[in-house]
Structure 1
Amino acid sequence: MAEDTSTDTAAADDLAAWGEAMAEQGVSAEPAAAAAEPPKVQPAPFAELRADQGGGAPNNQLDLVMDIPVTLSVELGRTKIQIRELLQLAQGSVVDLDRLAGEPMDVLVNGFLIARGEVVLVNDKFGIRLTDIVSPTERARRLA
Structure 2
Amino acid sequence: MTEQNLADDDWSTALSEQAEQESTQQYQKAESGIFKDLTDNDVKSSTHPNIDFILDIPLHITVELGRTKILIKNLLQLTQGSIIELDGLAGEPLDVLVNGCLIAHGEVVVVNDQFGIRLCDIVSPADRINKLNR
Higher relative contact order (CA 8 A, sep 6+): 2
- Equivalences for residues 19-98 of structure 1 within 5 A: 42=27, 44=30, 45-46=33-34, 48=37, 55=45, 57-58=48-49, 61-98=50-87
* SS of equivalent to 1:128: strand
Matched, 1:125 2:111: no
The amino acid that maps onto 2:109 is V
Would you tell me which structure has more helix in proportion to its own residues?
A: 2
State the distance in 2 between where 1:143 and 1:78 align: 19
- 5+ long unaligned stretches in structure 2: 1-22
TM-score by length of 2: 0.68
- Counterpart residue number, 2:102: 113
Quote the offset at 1:50 in angstroms. 5.3
The amino acid that maps onto 1:85 is N
* SS of equivalent to 2:107: strand
The amino acid that maps onto 1:82 is L
Quote the offset at 1:113 in angstroms. 0.3
- 5+ long unaligned stretches in structure 1: 1-39
Identity across the alignment (%): 56
Cα-Cα RMSD: 2.3
* SS of equivalent to 1:64: helix
